[in-house]
């Protein structure tokens, strides 16, 4: 049961779940090196982005 949905060299985009409306939206973009079950190893060239909205009340 070690099969994974992701394969080597696939590009992934992971978005963290926000608990509150004002929480930052964090994104990770990278390439899969290896995957087994629920575990994924990505390249070290992945990018972490933190997007925030600026506007009234920010």
Provide the whole-model pTM.
Answer: 0.64
Angle at CA of residue 30, ends 50 and 49, nearest 5°: 5
Tell how far CA 48 is from the center of its chain. 8
pLDDT by residue for the chain (58 residues), tens only, comes to: 568 888 899 999 888 888 887 777 778 888 999 999 889 998 877 677 766 666 555 5
CA-to-CA distance for 51 and 33, rounded, in angstroms? 26
Contact by Cβ (8 Å): 40, 4: yes
């Amino acid at each position: 049961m070690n099969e994974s949905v992701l394969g080597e060299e696939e590009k992934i985009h992971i978005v963290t779940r926000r608990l509150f409306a004002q929480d930052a939206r964090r994104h990770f973009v990278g390439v899969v090196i290896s995957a087994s079950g629920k575990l994924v190893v990505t390249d070290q060239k992945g990018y972490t982005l933190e997007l925030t909205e600026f506007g009234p009340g920010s």
